[in-house]
Amino acid sequence: MQLDSYRTLGRSGLRVSPLALGAMTFDDGSWGSAPEESFAILDRYLDAGGNFVDTANQYNGGASEETLGAYFARQPRKRDHLVLATKFGGTLFPTDPNAGGAGRKAIVSQLEGSLRRLNTDYVDVYWMHQWDRHTPFEETLSTLDGLVRAGKVRAIGVSNTPAWWIARADATASLRGWENIAALQVEYSLLARTVEGEQLGAARALGLGVTPWSPLASGVLSGKYSRETTQVAGSGRSGYAAPLLTESTFVLLDELARIAAELGTTVAAVALAWVRQQREVTSVLVGARTLRQLEANLASIEVTLSPEHRTVLDALTVPRLEYPYPFLDEVGVGYQQGDTTINGMSSAQFQRA
């Protein structure tokens, strides 16, 4: 497995790396990476064979996009050789009700702002950053279809959106001849697995690509935390990490450390490999504030977990899904197929201990 072993992104012809570079940390250096360090991170990622860079209009008040735009101004030939993704939905003008969300006015103005900051005339993937409960999905989809037809967007995706919306939007786009959704971006890690119910189910049914964000659970699975170390000096993510530092997480970290030692790698690399090896996953978003962090994340591409490793990790983090999944597992399998085994599944697998 290499970084330049490309995969098509869901229902698009875009070829993307199995690890995508998240640019949320790119800014003026006050929180993440100052421009020069961001440029070095980009150079290293691209030199390693990576080609998928992801940002959003609202990241650091637009500074992430501006940093990428400055990079393309310095090295313009690199723009067309990578898959550039950004997102809409987040407002940059909090007192303007039409500055954010997924309405036509907002989408068009947000894309214009992103293209200006990114120093490009198109984006390869345009993500709806989150579900907009105030806007009819037909308005969102028809607007995105128009942007694809105008050549300003190559493919569209959705993030942080209910599966029912995705299914309804996909059916409507197909019936009306609009651009289909190509991929989903979802939170997914060993500590955030509820997407295995509805979101990944939608991805399988509709043929969508999946690009997980926060695969290290806000750094909890990076190897920095343990029973003895629950605070990391200088980390801007400690507040997000604190609620996850429970005894069950420490048990998981112990097992990750054991597997890492067995494979001669790191806790972070094992945690990233677990996400990457899920069958629905196309490309895993990794972020880095420093070159050292990037190198640690890139090292995960060389790690392949055995079925035994995955079984152990799966058992430690089984998600509790919402109804009807618990009911279907506990009652439905035997009710439908009795004592028989179908497609490798038997009712005995779901009997309570």
pLDDT digit string, tens, across residues 255-293: 999 999 999 999 999 999 999 999 999 999 999 999 999
Q: Higher confidence at residue 216 or residue 231?
A: 216
Domains and CATH numbers, the chain: 7-307 (3.20.20.100)
Q: What is the pLDDT of residue 230?
A: 74
**Rounded distance between C-alpha atoms, residue 57 and residue 92, angstroms:** 8
Q: What is the largest CA-CA distance in the chain?
A: 66
Q: Binning pLDDT at 50, 70 and 90, where does residue 29 land?
A: confident
Q: Is 59 a catalytic residue?
A: yes
Predicted structure pTM score: 0.93
pLDDT band of 353, cuts 50, 70, 90: very low
Q: Cα separation of 236 and 241, whole Å?
A: 10
Distance CA 232, CA 248 (A): 20
Mean pLDDT calculated for residue range 190-212: 97
130 confidence band (pLDDT: 50, 70, 90): very high
Rounded CA-CA distance 273/278 in Å is 9
Residue 236 has pLDDT above 90, yes or no: no
Closest residue by Cα to residue 181 from 148, 143, 155: 155
pLDDT in tens, 143-160: 999 999 999 999 999 999
Catalytic-labelled residue, pool 59, 71, 122, 225:
59
Mean pLDDT, rounded, for 219-227: 90
When pLDDT is cut at 50, 70 and 90, the band that residue 56 belongs to is very high
Mean pLDDT for all residues in the chain = 94
As given in the structure block, the two tokens for residue 213 are 């964000």
Q: What is the pLDDT of residues 313-350, one digit of tens each?
A: 999 999 999 999 988 888 878 888 888 998 888 888 77
Taking alpha carbons only, the member of 161, 267, 157 closest to residue 215 is: 267
